Every structure is written in structure tokens, then in C-alpha cells.
Amino acid sequence: MSQKKDINIQILGQTYTIKTSADNEYIKELENYVESKIEELKGSGFDSKTQHLKIAILTCINIADDLFQSRNNKTDELVNKIKSKTISLKEYVDQQILSFENRNESKK
């Protein structure tokens, strides 16, 4: 298990120290992602100087939405793969049954 270390990030002008075993680059990617989601809200007219909490909460909701959409998309992809494999397997079984029946008919 990796040793945990302190990494500083800055969100909405505030510095936060995170204790983590993840590497610095990954944490910086998270920081950049959160900041980009915050910037999207600022572009919608929110004042980052007076509405920190509102921006933080709405950013959390937007990130949660991204997560849920991603999960749903992956679930849909998995369901489609399973359907496709099931159809292929059914076709294969049907072919094998037909082949078996034809062999039995020719032996009679």
C-alpha cells in the first residue's frame, strides 16, 4: 500500500490539503476538473466572491450528474453487448440443433 502524503490544491481561491496515496498528477487533474466545472458556473453569472457556497453546491450537483450519466452510459453499453452476445449465442445454438437434426434425418 502506498504511503499517504499531503497534497495542496486550490479551489475557489481557498487552499485545501488532501492526505492521499494518489499521485500528484492525478490530484491536479481532479483539481483542474473541479475548477473547470466552477468556471462553467461563473460563466452563468454567479459571483465567485459572494456566492462561494452556492457555486460549490451547484458544482457538486453538476459533477454528480456527470458521474451518473457516465455510469448509465456504461450500463447501456454493457446491456447492448450482452444482448448482442445472447443473439449470437442463440443463433449458434439454433444452427447446431438444425445440423444435429439434419444428421439424424440423413441416417434414417
What's the confidence (pLDDT) of residue 36? Answer: 92
**The model scores a pTM over 0.85:** no
What's the confidence (pLDDT) of residue 50? Answer: 80
Domain range list for the chain: 5-81
The set of residues, in sequence order, having a beta carbon less than 8 Å from that of 28 and lying 6+ positions away, is: 9
Question: For each of the chain's 108 residues, which pLDDT tens digit applies?
Answer: 578 999 999 998 889 999 999 999 999 999 999 999 998 888 888 777 788 888 889 999 999 999 999 888 888 888 888 999 999 999 989 898 888 888 877 776
CB 17 within 8 A of CB 5: no
